[in-house]
Amino acid sequence: MLLRIPGVLTAEEVAHVVSVLSATEWVDGRITAGQQAARAKHNLQVPEAAPEARQLADLVLRAMGRNALFNSAALPLRLVPPLFNRYDAGMRFDDHVDSALRFVANASMRIRTDVSTTLFLTDPETYDGGELVIQDTFGTQEIKLAAGDAVIYPSTSLHRVKEITRGSRWASFFWTQSLIRSDDQRRLLFELDSNIQQLSSEIGQSHPTVVSLTANYHNLLRMWAEI
């Protein structure tokens, strides 16, 4: 399931993140890439251990935690701490699939990557190129969102970032291990949850139909969840 999530960060939060990143050291982005991706990756990245990266990662995690759309769609169990990348003119990321597992050093654990997230930090008018191209079940989609908006998609998807021809594209990115491993099951639960929320606003949460559908949702979640 590919889903655009508007307004994850406020304008003030975006400005703060960009201000901190502007004064931060950037290194070759291949340091965090797997063997396949390293050959395709041509960008810059803030070192994971940098204090600025950890501070901003906490800000992004708080924003995602308060975002109802993200939580409904991704059903997060664990998250890899957000990273930050930058594409200047001539940089790109060719076709690749994200690594299936990510090691989180400060937690001494591996996380299965079910859902990939890109959070845009620069407005699209400030750069040319840089579209995130994702091969979705409904065809190839090109994503280029406003600063503060995010897109989530299955980590199994083949994807790339087009070459930048003008300006600079900054973003945060991270992976989620979902309570629900299957993308098809996550999609069904998200659609059911969305319909329950809509119906609740129209006829009330206590209506028997809403109560029944809510029970169905939780019973499916109980059946499919991996904890």
Do 163 and 195 reside in the same domain of the chain?
A: no
Do 156 and 174 reside in the same domain of the chain?
A: yes
- Least confident segment among 3-12, 32-41, 88-97: 32-41
Task: Write down which residue in 163, 178, 193 finishes a domain.
Answer: 178
pLDDT tens per residue across span 66-109: 999 999 999 999 999 999 999 999 999 999 999 999 998 777 89
Do 122 and 197 reside in the same domain of the chain?
A: no
Do 55 and 116 reside in the same domain of the chain?
A: yes
CATH of the domain at 125: 2.60.120.620
How many residues does this entry show for the chain? 227
Q: Give the total number of structural domains in the chain.
A: 2
Do 117 and 50 reside in the same domain of the chain?
A: yes
pTM comes to 0.93
Confidence (pLDDT) at 32: 62
Do 211 and 112 reside in the same domain of the chain?
A: no
Say whether pLDDT at 117 is over 90: yes
> What single-letter DSSP state applies at residue 105?
G
- Domain of residue 209 covers 183-224
Task: Write down which residue in 156, 178, 200 finishes a domain.
Answer: 178
d(CA 80, CA 114): 11
- Please, which residues bridge with residue 27 across strands? 45
